[in-house]
Amino acid sequence: MRKLIVANIVSLDGYYEGPGNDVMALPFHDAFSEYNAERLRAADTVLLGRSSFEGFKSYWPHIVDDASQAPVEREISRHMNAVDKVVVSDTLTPARTAPWHNTEIVGRADAHARVAGLKNAPGKEILTFGSHTLWNDLLSAGLVDELHLMIGPAFLGAGTPVFGGRSPVRLRLLEARPLPGGHLVLTRHAPA
């Protein structure tokens, strides 16, 4: 059975993004990209919500050819271009997935069944970045196997809470360690 892994960065005070949906308010560091590349190497499917998909497809496809980008960013771009993408959305259409044509669109009503089917199919890990609304729903439904949170040294004071308004979910800690550079702490959790 394949695992569904959620990997995200959060502020020390528990925000997924800053005020005004500003993800750039988060305390990014080189270790964030290195860890995401590591996760992508272990995956063959990326599961996203519409907003994250649209943000990623506007950024990642062309980074692979940009010599001014760090090698890890170019590696992430290569992986993001190559892996299958599954997007949960009731509004996205196939015409709006270019340049990523290896994209399946699943309606919200069918998301739980489709994710369960993906997990039961052969393959590598299924990875979710961003997609706060989607993965919170999947976590509440018992479909997330591991939650990897990179906690950064910043207090945002406001924004979108990482666990806002969802059913209670008990987690158990699998690992906690500083990532290289000492700016981010990785915590890995699984449902209890």
- Average pLDDT, integer, range 141-155: 94
165 pLDDT higher than 70: no
pLDDT by residue (tens digit) across 3-50? 999 999 999 998 888 888 888 788 788 899 999 999 999 999 999 999
pLDDT for 164 beyond 80? no
What pTM was computed for the model?
0.93
Q: Which residue has the higher pLDDT, 167 or 55?
A: 55
Structure confidence at residue 37 (pLDDT): 97
Residue 166 pLDDT level (bands cut at 50, 70, 90): low
- Across residues 136-145, what is the average pLDDT? 94
Label each residue of the chain as H, E or C.
Answer: CCCEEEEEEEECCCEEEEHHHEHHHCCCCHHHHHHHHHHHHCEEEEEEEHHHHHHHHHHHHHHHHCCCCCHHHHHHHHHHHHCEEEEECCCCCHHHCCCCCCEEEECHHHHHHHHHHHHHCCCCEEEEECCHHHHHHHHHCCCCCEEEEEEECCCCCCCEECCCCCCCCCEEEEEEEECCCCCCEEEEEEEC
How many distinct structural domains can be found in the chain? 1
Of 6-10, 168-172, 181-185, highest mean pLDDT? 6-10
Pairing of strands 125-129, 4-11: parallel
Domain residues for the domain of 70 are 4-191
Residue 96: CATH number of its domain: 3.40.430.10
Residues 28-41: pLDDT tens digits? 888 999 999 999 99
pLDDT digits (tens, 9 = 90+) for 56-95: 999 999 999 999 999 999 999 999 999 999 999 999 999 9
Digit-coded pLDDT (tens) for 91-128: 999 999 999 989 999 999 999 999 999 999 999 999 99
